[in-house]
Structure 1
Amino acid sequence: MPRRSRIPRTPRSHWLLLGLVLLVLCSLLGLDVLLNRAGTAATPSGSRQFVPESAFAGGSVIDPREPVVRHPRTRHLALTFVDGPDPQWTPEVLDVLARHQVHATFFVTGAQAAENPALIRRILDAGHEIGNRTLTRTDLRQAGDLRVQLELQATDLVLAGAAGITTNLVQPPYTTTGSLDYEAWKAFLRIGNHGRQVVLADLDSQDWLQPDTAAVLANSTPRDDRGAVLLMRDTAGPGTVEALDRLLPDLQRTGWQVDSVGGTFQLSGTANQAQFVDRIAGTMLVVAIQVSRWLADSLRALLWVATGLAALRAVVMLLIVPIHVRRSRRWEPPWQISQRVGVIVPAYNEEAGIANTVRSILASDHPVEVIVIDDGSTDRTVEVVQQLQERFPRIRLIRQENAGKSAALNTGLAAANSELVVMVDGDTVLEPDAVGRMVAHFTNPDIGAVSGNVKVGNRRSLLGRWQHIEYVIGFNLDRRVYDVLHCTPTVPGALGAFRRSAILDIGGVSDDTLAEDTDLTMALERDGWRVVYEEHAISWTEAPATYGQLWKQRYRWCYGTLQAIWKHRRAVIERGPAGRLGRRGLPYLLIFQVLLQVIAPVVDVTACFALFTEDAGNVALTWLGFLALQAVPGVIAFRLDAESLRPLLVLPLQQIVYRQLMYLIVVQSVITALAGARLPWQKLERRGQIVPLARR
């Protein structure tokens, strides 16, 4: 029901902000995937066509521009470390090298260097060399010239940003003398096109397999007196450090000269000072890589948090819902309430469904008086009600200028002649026993309001089925939990019973929020009244039939709920029913209806990107567990509501499509709330398509 007296503009900038956030998020996650995807090595073809025979003679430095192949001198060993730097093991390797006064060449990946720029500077300060291991440890035999250029230049930019240098030495991943073939040689030629030299190892410590120290030491020891290039990994762990600490003195005792690649091959100009522009660009790239890693790690942690929350919700349901079931089966009112009940129906442009609503109320088993408040309708709502009045004298029609739903409800409360009132929307159809079942709870003088069980009446379409699932699982199951914990935050506007005096004592129905039903319920509890849920008091509502209408409704609901939570935040420190609302209901609402909804889309995006990384298996299992835990309450809720399980067949599709829409609505609502904007009432279009269960 719109409130035309004040209609501020909806802040469209939220969409721009949300779009920019999603774009940045996806870009950073995409960068993280690029840097951390699961790499694979190509199988060597074995073909030596066009490869110089000298390249197979042992460890070498190859200048593909000539081409020239250089080999180390007798009893000279070039010590290289690859795939680092590693924040844990590289410092220990540096300590061992310093203790034995040996220099080495560290072929770093751009990704690792960006995450550990201080280690790059420490390596250089200790007199060691830096080489290029590509940005992402990609097998360059599978890459074209553009990819080779990007891998090498991106790593140079990282080095420029981290330490102000670039390097001319490249050690291609997955390529040693033993795996050299024609495809690798073509990759070397591409590397040479960019003015770089290739370093090939002929000794591989195999420390990445993490064998014992003796095995690493054996693999690293030269077989004869010919010079060699030794490949070790400063990311492998303690085996590398211990083997290195034993290898260096052994080699030095036997007359070997151990040095960096530049020192062993007597190369000059292995590194260059980076230009100022490259340093600036490199710094920006380093920051972007660091942020992408931090973001990916944080979002994967959120995946665990979301899965934990889903598991917690499932546990809460399994523990508390059976308690509600047992209580509801045993509950009997001490006496019957026979007084007439006023049923208040606020209506604005409800021509399509108002007749069905009024007829269903008149068909109630309990004595009722129907009070229709027309809030300035511009369609035939008034005419339809007047025609019904001619046949049913228990209908009262009150007309007023458009002032909003809260004002219409207050008008109805003022006109009611009964202490007990029921409020229903103008598109709601009641079951005959709904009113009687709700008012029976008022035999308990502590109860101020009763929530009914609202079901979707137009569930034949796919969108209708999705909303039906949401109502049964997300709304009615939660109300059972709230009922046991005595902290129900919302009596739905579609069906709720109240003590009229209790509402008047708190000043009537407030228009401070867009969720007047939630605001009213919380206000009653803060005034000391209990609110309960009657699962057998059933009404049928017409859910939005289009995605646009659904967006409007849920946006209003979510934003109004956030307003109500903020308005009644002091309930957290109050006592009695107010304290139970503040310390039980509000946290439950915020955690499972807001926080879980906000982080869940991020979880989905993170999971999708993580499927392309080395951690894909664990992330996929966690994500599937998250979905399964959200689906667990489904069967329970449908069984308790005596609903057919058939609609649950579309639950997987709902998780993929419908859920994303709900997430966006929650995110936009949170942004709107943080911005402090006020929204107009969103009137939905009704089509009068409710089909109660009895007619299905």
Structure 2
Amino acid sequence: MPKQIFVFHDKHKRRFARITTKLSIVICLINILGLFLLFCLYKAVQFDSPDQLNTKVEIEKAINKISTNNKDIIEVGGEGILVGINIDSDYYEIERFASLNNKEIILTFDDGPQPVYTEKILDILKKENVKAIFFVVGENVLKYPDIVRRIIKEGHQIGVHTFTHTKEDEGLNQNKLQTMLEIDAAQKIIEAETGYKTRLFRIPYWGVENTISLNSLILSVNALSRGYTIVSSTIDSNDWRYSDPDLVIKSAFNPLEGQVILMHDGGGDRTSTIKALPYIISLYKDNFYNFRLIDGELAGNLQELLKPISLKEKIISKAAKVSLLIFAYINKFLRIFFIFGIGIFAVNGVIYLSLILSKTFKRNKLSKLKPFVSVIIPAYNEEYSIAKTVNSVINSKYPRFEAIVIDNNSKDATGRIILNMRRRLKIKNLRLFKEKIQGKYAALNKGIKVAKGRIVLIIDADTQVLPNTIQKMVAAFSDKKIGAVGGNIKVGNIKNLISAFQAIEYIVGLNLDRRAYSNLGAIPVVPGALGAWRKTAATKAGGFLNDTLTEDAEMTVRIQKLGYKTVFAPDAVAYTEAPDNIRNFVRQRFRWTFGTLQVLYKHRESYFKKDKGMLFLLILPFLIFLQLPFMLLAPFVDIIAIATLFINYKLVVTFFLYFLAIHMLFNIIAFILAKEKRIWLLLIIPLSRFYYQPVWYFILYKSIVAILKGEIYPWNKLNHVGSVIVESNN
């Protein structure tokens, strides 16, 4: 047989250097861009601020002095249409001030822009030749920038109404970063979309009341410290409450001295506002009121309240917009990914169950033949487990078999133990051979070569079979087209969380995925721990190769190219020794993962080819083009989800609970199908998402890095201690 080239081997070690250099440049540029975008997003927008509120300490002091023990009842003093802070020595008070002249009125609209209502309000104002102030929400400006530009173009004023219309129970005292974003992000979006900056500001949920909440106080003090002019209202139209336009008109018309009317162009159904507005304007005009805007003189500030931005401000605001769009798209992507992921997971599970149930409850036609079976046990330094493994085979109820131990240059007493067992117990059907070529693939090929049986059953030296295992494996060869059969492997050494999680993984993976693939005649792996092969098929395929770390998976794929089917025998049970610590688990699963990627890459030319069978037409493409990308993206989604917890924890928790519920359902079904008695394992399944899954992420990316490095990796066999305990009554 010609020498095999190790898949992914990079003889000259150029691939890793080339990719890491490019990746380093990209990462460096992304970091620089990211830092710049974050700087622009979090840089405070600053006008002229009061001398008493120009430091963080003074801002905190003002909030603490004004706030009360009851955070929802903070009294506001004074009268007027604007809001400020009166500081006299150590006395602080938030108060209203500034009044309009008699027969002056200001129309204000909050919570927009909104495509339907804002546009209609602008049409009415244009027709009536009336100007108004629109206090816009940053998120809505980001969605409907054209409407904001129209507002300014037609001579109206705009003001900041926070970025998200922050809720009353947001807890801004605990989240200073959110406070900054609510004020500054909204301003920067206005600047980016319109080219103008505004000094006008209005607090959400503060109408005409003389008391405010702690959140309103925090926003007020922080806005004033930046030099904003906070506009209050003196008349509430109650258009947020009434759907009857007559009631809105009644609430909005109050012919006293100068007034500021609170109305809304967003945040809900504003049909009543649209219907009432022409009548409100007409009533005030009929009573000789003049509609006006706020100017610098009224605000006590000679600077323009709405003015064009500088080039520097334009760059910063555009960069801030990009940052916000990235966050928005990440949030949207996260939502879509969660929904799509849960959907794929659920559909995938339903498809698996459909395939499983289509044959599970049908009586399989068992083979009546009892062909001679050769049980091959490759062994390297297995003195602690080999005797138990051989004893489990020798105690089989199957009538015609031999046990072949292939000693692959063991340095311990493995070979002597087998010879002693054969001599002491007089086991005639136990044979021992030595293979000088190092490697499991060579030991397996030696076993196949010397085997007398038509069926070769391969088990690992730490695997213990049950008395009926061989019989169940042979019975699965009911069709001449079946070239190999995979057995049902269980973890026999559950002693801690890592081994318990592996036990769950075996139960679910074998009794859902493997059963489903089996009904298509195309399981992707006939495992080395318990797998049976037609000797003719194994020989025709050329035996096991050493060009991947998973010789069993590679052989499974190769014989299916020859037209053979591979199936799963769920009743053929064996127990194996799983790694019982993280270090050994990572070593084993790295070999499995890296080897699987090698197999997927090696046979890529056969994908989607119908003549190669269902494995290549459907199963391997599904694994490589759908499952693998999801696995690669999963760690980043987890990181984003953790970050999103601080912004929208309900979204993350909701999707996690949905996923967990579906995951638990399929796990329970797998346990039922497996007739698993260790049902207590179901209790720890939620923990796997936080403990077991991150380890898998590390292993996957360790494998990707290994591919890039292009080195030749050893098989890296684990040391077994013979800790397997076989369940009774199987």
TM-score (norm 2): 0.79
Q: Which residue of 1 aligns with 2:106?
A: 78
* CA-CA distance at 1:476 after TM superposition: 2.8
Paired residue secondary structure (1:178): coil
One-letter code aligned to 1:441:
A
Q: Is the contact between residue 606 and residue 616 of structure 2 (CA under 8 Å) also seen in structure 1? A: yes
The separation in 1 between residues aligned to 2:285 and 2:706, in whole angstroms, is 73
Does residue 1:132 correspond to 2:153, yes or no? no
Q: Which residue of 1 aligns with 2:723?
A: 689
Q: Is the contact between residue 324 and residue 480 of structure 1 (CA under 8 Å) also seen in structure 2? A: no
Q: Is the contact between residue 459 and residue 531 of structure 2 (CA under 8 Å) also seen in structure 1? A: yes
Q: Alignment partner for residue 642 of structure 1, among 664, 675, 681?
A: 675
Structure 2: gaps of 5 or more residues: 1-5, 43-69, 88-94
* CA-CA distance at 1:303 after TM superposition: 1.6
- 1:37-74 residue CA offsets vs partner (Å, 9 max, x unmatched): xxxxx9642635xx22x23xxxx134558988222233
Q: Which residue of 2 aligns with 1:345?
A: 377
- Where do residues 155-194 of structure 1 align in structure 2 (5 Å cutoff)? 155-180=186-211, 188=220, 191-194=223-226
The separation in 2 between residues aligned to 1:676 and 1:81, in whole angstroms, is 64
Does residue 1:201 correspond to 2:236, yes or no? no
* CA-CA distance at 1:122 after TM superposition: 4.3
One-letter code aligned to 1:641:
A
Q: Which residue of 1 aligns with 2:433?
A: 397
* CA-CA distance at 1:492 after TM superposition: 1.3
Q: Is the contact between residue 296 and residue 305 of structure 2 (CA under 8 Å) also seen in structure 1? A: no
- 1:498-552 residue CA offsets vs partner (Å, 9 max, x unmatched): 1122122223223343332222212222211111211121111111101222223
Q: Which residue of 2 aligns with 1:435?
A: 470
Q: Which has the higher contact order (CA 8 A, sep 6+)?
A: 1
The separation in 2 between residues aligned to 1:459 and 1:118, in whole angstroms, is 64
Q: Which residue of 2 aligns with 1:543?
A: 578
Q: Alignment partner for residue 419 of structure 1, among 451, 454, 465?
A: 454
The separation in 2 between residues aligned to 1:500 and 1:523, in whole angstroms, is 14
Paired residue secondary structure (1:400): coil
Q: Which residue of 1 aligns with 2:505?
A: 470
Does residue 1:489 correspond to 2:524, yes or no? yes
Paired residue secondary structure (1:176): coil
Q: Which residue of 2 aligns with 1:358?
A: 390
Q: Residues 231, 683 of structure 1: CA spacing in aligned structure 2 closer, same or farther, 3 A cutoff?
A: farther
What RMSD, in angstroms, separates the aligned Cα atoms of the two structures? 4.4
Does residue 1:654 correspond to 2:685, yes or no? no
* CA-CA distance at 1:104 after TM superposition: 2.7
Structure 1: gaps of 5 or more residues: 35-41
Paired residue secondary structure (1:174): coil
Does residue 1:279 correspond to 2:311, yes or no? no
The separation in 2 between residues aligned to 1:275 and 1:380, in whole angstroms, is 83
The separation in 2 between residues aligned to 1:111 and 1:4, in whole angstroms, is 51
> Which shifted more, 4-13 or 648-657?
4-13
Q: Residues 209, 414 of structure 1: CA spacing in aligned structure 2 closer, same or farther, 3 A cutoff?
A: farther
Paired residue secondary structure (1:691): coil
- Where do residues 20-39 of structure 1 align in structure 2 (5 Å cutoff)? none
One-letter code aligned to 2:431:
I
Does residue 1:236 correspond to 2:236, yes or no? no
Does residue 1:104 correspond to 2:132, yes or no? yes
* CA-CA distance at 1:398 after TM superposition: 1.8
Q: Count matched residues.
A: 668
Q: Residues 218, 69 of structure 1: CA spacing in aligned structure 2 closer, same or farther, 3 A cutoff?
A: same
Q: Residues 543, 453 of structure 1: CA spacing in aligned structure 2 closer, same or farther, 3 A cutoff?
A: same
Q: Which residue of 1 aligns with 2:483?
A: 448
Q: Which residue of 1 aligns with 2:55?
A: none
Paired residue secondary structure (2:476): helix
* CA-CA distance at 1:296 after TM superposition: 0.8
Q: Which residue of 2 aligns with 1:61?
A: 82
One-letter code aligned to 2:225:
N
* CA-CA distance at 1:494 after TM superposition: 0.7
The separation in 1 between residues aligned to 2:8 and 2:516, in whole angstroms, is 38
The separation in 2 between residues aligned to 1:275 and 1:61, in whole angstroms, is 27
The separation in 1 between residues aligned to 2:138 and 2:712, in whole angstroms, is 48
* CA-CA distance at 1:613 after TM superposition: 5.5
Q: Is the contact between residue 371 and residue 454 of structure 2 (CA under 8 Å) also seen in structure 1? A: no
Q: Is the contact between residue 313 and residue 592 of structure 1 (CA under 8 Å) also seen in structure 2? A: no
Q: Is the contact between residue 78 and residue 264 of structure 1 (CA under 8 Å) also seen in structure 2? A: no
Q: Is the contact between residue 108 and residue 132 of structure 2 (CA under 8 Å) also seen in structure 1? A: yes
Paired residue secondary structure (1:536): strand
Q: Which residue of 2 aligns with 1:552?
A: 587
The separation in 2 between residues aligned to 1:676 and 1:119, in whole angstroms, is 56
Does residue 1:580 correspond to 2:601, yes or no? no
One-letter code aligned to 1:399:
E
Q: Which residue of 2 aligns with 1:39?
A: none
Q: Is the contact between residue 352 and residue 688 of structure 1 (CA under 8 Å) also seen in structure 2? A: yes
One-letter code aligned to 1:448:
G
Q: Which residue of 2 aligns with 1:336?
A: 369
The separation in 2 between residues aligned to 1:384 and 1:100, in whole angstroms, is 103
The separation in 2 between residues aligned to 1:378 and 1:276, in whole angstroms, is 76
Paired residue secondary structure (2:567): strand
The separation in 2 between residues aligned to 1:290 and 1:298, in whole angstroms, is 12
Q: Alignment partner for residue 662 of structure 2, among 629, 634, 638?
A: 629
Q: Which residue of 1 aligns with 2:282?
A: 250
* CA-CA distance at 1:490 after TM superposition: 1.5
Q: Residues 269, 501 of structure 1: CA spacing in aligned structure 2 closer, same or farther, 3 A cutoff?
A: same
The separation in 1 between residues aligned to 2:10 and 2:136, in whole angstroms, is 60
- Where do residues 293-308 of structure 1 align in structure 2 (5 Å cutoff)? 293-308=328-343
One-letter code aligned to 1:501:
T
Q: Is the contact between residue 201 and residue 231 of structure 1 (CA under 8 Å) also seen in structure 2? A: yes
Paired residue secondary structure (2:728): helix
Q: Is the contact between residue 235 and residue 262 of structure 2 (CA under 8 Å) also seen in structure 1? A: yes
The separation in 2 between residues aligned to 1:523 and 1:418, in whole angstroms, is 21
One-letter code aligned to 2:610:
R
- Where do residues 593-612 of structure 1 align in structure 2 (5 Å cutoff)? 594=628, 597=631
One-letter code aligned to 1:173:
P
The separation in 1 between residues aligned to 2:710 and 2:728, in whole angstroms, is 45
One-letter code aligned to 2:110:
V
* CA-CA distance at 1:429 after TM superposition: 1.4
> Which shifted more, 642-651 or 680-689?
680-689
Q: Which residue of 1 aligns with 2:350?
A: 315
Q: Which residue of 1 aligns with 2:564?
A: 529
Q: Is the contact between residue 392 and residue 464 of structure 2 (CA under 8 Å) also seen in structure 1? A: yes
TM-score (norm 1): 0.82
Paired residue secondary structure (2:543): coil
- 1:591-615 residue CA offsets vs partner (Å, 9 max, x unmatched): 8854665566666666666666678
Q: Which residue of 1 aligns with 2:305?
A: 270
* CA-CA distance at 1:669 after TM superposition: 4.7
